[in-house]
Amino acid sequence: MKNRMSKGMLMVALICGSLSVAGVTYAEELQSFEMDEFVVTAARTETRLVDTPANISVVGAEQIEQRKYQDMGEVLKDVDGVMVLDTGLGTKEKIIKLNGDDRVLVLVDGRRVGTDMGSNAGGRGSVDMNQLPDTSMIERVEVLKGAGGALYGSEAVGGVINIITKKADMTNGKISLGFGSFGAEDKKIMYSAKQGKTGVTVSASQYEQDYYKYRDHKTDTTKRWEGPTDFENKKFSINLNQEITDTTNLAIGFDYSKYEGMSPTLPWYPDGAGEKQMDYGVYKQDKETQNIYAKYDWVINGSDQGYVQIYHNELEYNNVSKINLVSYYEDDGDFIKRENTPSIGYMKEKVNGLDIQQTFTTSDTNKLVVGASWRESDVTAKGDNVYDEGIDNTAIFVSDTWEFAPTWTLNAGVRYDDHSHAGDDTTMSAGLNKKLDEDSHVYFNWSEVFRAPTTDDLFYQGSMAGSTKVFKGNPNLKPETGDTWTLGYATQIDERNNFGINYFESDLEDAIYWDYYDAETVVNLDKQKKRGMELSLSHELNSNVSVNASYTYLRVENDTAYTKGFERDRNYSPNV
């Protein structure tokens, strides 16, 4: 079954930030503030970064290649203001947080890849970073920090991550092998071929590890886990691009991943039970994804791009968690032996989706984007968590980018959602950008939030490992609503120095919260306030060495039935 114990911290934002010093990195890698670079995520159409009213970072293929990132989690850990939360060892998940929020929309080439049942590790995240395409397939990653609800829908409360994959433009290939401690092996192969108007890109990878070691505090020695701790992660992707005419293209692809094996838990000694009496946690997980997609895109009037895409995603998840030996618990001062029964879970989600979008250039200073989307999700859960339900959502949106003065740009958007359980709602967004020069800008953006509950929020019914309590979803949940806004400044000071600062706030109502202690069900809290600041600086010491640093402050306050007005949530470190 799913580990739901972290759901109680559902709406609490972890500080997202990092302080890093990167030695022997290449000057060509410094891409975060190349202001003449074009991005597509913030406005759903191509705009220069210096003209975009958003806090957005870019990681390119060259940086990914030079730094030898193993997976998408490592890529995103190097982005200022981003936190990748490792929920455990082995097959445990990696969850992304932007602006302190795990409700992040993850796209691959503009299509949604997240689940509608929510994270297996708890929280509001919907994507395990371990199961995204291999880094050899990635051309660039755009990270939009701040809500994108009016353009992207309910998952984009904390922001949007758009992973853009490589398209074949020449014939080339690459094989890499890596070996490490604990029997680790990392194998990758990528081949790309272009013949006339037809291009094919194929990649396959396998990472495996045989065991883990840990430091035993009782004996002050390093030991190997007594139980099985082996795991492997296999991925395969194929993408076919066919240029039909000079202005039309068809892309068909398939992504597969299989993440399976063990995730260990540190052994512990119950006080008074004796050195040989301990618990060994064992968690076995098999997670398989299969994503099939097709995208047809075109250009009209020489520059106005449009596309229609369909996709089918499947996630199948199995897990067994148990204690190898016995455990001991205290009862009136005595430790009593207790046999443990395994917790077993099986979940399968099938998703069908359709997206359509068209850009219209209405004048030299105005561009309009119109689109619609439909998504249907069916989830079957067995074992300790049982339900068989589905949800669907239909949306339409309009976004306008208007350069109303030579250095001023206004982005405005409106979106209408019709959700099968959360009802219908209209959300709006607006962004204002002032270009100070070709290398710096000041921006402000605001967005309304409409966040529908997940299928687990609505229908979950099961027990926790080692617990006799039954936890239930709530089909009467309200959607989370509210407002978010960001004010920021970014500049490329010179060829060696980049600087950025931004302040963000959000106010949410009806935040969804898993109550384990009283109601043992999921409820809507009253209100939540969040505010924070991100500061980043990079400096190139010479052509071979650069230094990057960032600081993030975050404060979260909740006003609920369990507090007296707004009280600070103490589950988070405010400074990183």
Q: How many CA atoms lie within 13 A of 183 on its CB side?
A: 11
How high is the pLDDT of residue 12? 26
How high is the pLDDT of residue 16? 29
Handedness of CA 38, 42, 43, 44 (dihedral sign): positive
Rounded to 10 degrees, the C-alpha dihedral 213/216/221/223 comes to -30
Other CB atoms within a 10 A radius of the CB of residue 67 amount to 16
The SS3 of residue 157 is: coil
Taking CA atoms, 297 is separated from 99, 153, 304, 492, in Å, by 33, 22, 11, 34
Q: Which two tokens stand for residue 67?
A: 């730094």
- What domains does the chain contain, in order, with CATH numbers? 5-568 (2.40.170.20)
Separation of alpha carbons 478 and 456, rounded Å: 14
Q: How many CA atoms lie within 13 A of 407 on its CB side?
A: 10
DSSP character string of 355-367: EEEEEEEEETTEE
pLDDT, one tens digit for every residue, the chain (576 residues): 444 333 332 222 222 233 333 323 333 333 344 666 777 777 777 788 888 888 888 888 888 888 888 888 889 888 887 888 877 778 888 888 887 788 888 999 989 998 888 776 666 677 888 888 888 889 999 998 887 767 887 678 888 999 999 888 888 899 999 999 999 999 999 999 999 999 999 999 999 999 988 887 767 888 887 777 899 999 999 999 999 999 999 999 999 999 999 887 655 554 444 444 445 566 788 999 999 999 999 999 988 999 999 999 999 988 877 644 444 444 554 545 555 566 778 889 999 999 999 999 999 999 999 999 999 999 998 877 889 999 999 999 999 999 999 999 999 999 999 999 999 999 999 999 999 999 999 999 999 989 899 998 899 887 655 456 677 888 999 999 999 999 999 999 988 899 999 999 989 899 887 765 555 778 888 888 889 999 999 898 887 888 888 888 888 888 877 777 888 877 666 887
pTM of the shown model: 0.85
Q: Which two tokens stand for residue 569?
A: 């949530």
How high is the pLDDT of residue 40? 79
Asked whether the beta carbons of 488 and 500 are under 8 A apart, the reply is yes
Cβ-based neighbours of 270, under 8 Å, separated by 6 or more: 277, 278, 279, 327, 328, 329, 330, 335
Q: Which two tokens stand for residue 405?
A: 């003065």
The SS3 of residue 66 is: helix
Per the listing, tokens 């990748």 go with 84
Residue 471: closest CA among 1, 114, 115? 1
